[in-house]
Amino acid sequence: MKKIVAALSIFLVSFSYAQSPLDKGKIQLNGGFGTSSWGSPVYFGADYGLSEVITIGAETSYQSYKVFGIKSTIIGFQGNANYHFNEILKLPKEWDLYGGVNLNYYCWIVDDKKNNDLLVVDEPFGVGAQIGARYYFNKNFAINIEGGTGSVNSLGKIGITYKL
């Protein structure tokens, strides 16, 4: 009987471990392309596992575009916190469904060479929320997709994830 209880315990522990999107104390890297009303920024970020279901992260994004001969550059910095729903939804280990909040700072520089004008946006802070999903092809690599508000990538983003 003890052997059956021990085997069952090992199975349950390994099953719950497999459900965790990012183990406590571990880091994953994210990168890809976003979309916003201004264009398509690129982004790079990292997430840290605070617990089996909560991560915090940081991200930076960059976008440059030209409208009517006026060049604009947007550089964004974001901090986020996410809750991962894998355990409560009993999702397969390949999937990671999450949602959370973010705090953003961005620098928007408009360079109007015709008028010798350089403008920097006055209110560079944003607060928002996001929901996203990842699909892991193996233990370390995933594709991710996310939508949300409050950031330079406010309409959405798609990219890859690598667990360290």
Summarize pLDDT for 74-111 with one digit per residue, the tens: 888 999 999 999 999 999 989 999 999 999 998 888 77
The pLDDT of residue 74 is 85
Residue 86: Cβ within 10 Å count: 20
The residue type of 2 is K
Cα 17 to chain centroid distance, Å, stands at 22
Rounded to an integer, what distance in angstroms lies between the CA atom of residue 42 and that of residue 67? 19
The pLDDT of residue 40 is 84
Rounded to an integer, what distance in angstroms lies between the CA atom of residue 85 and that of residue 65? 37
Rounded to an integer, what distance in angstroms lies between the CA atom of residue 55 and that of residue 77? 17
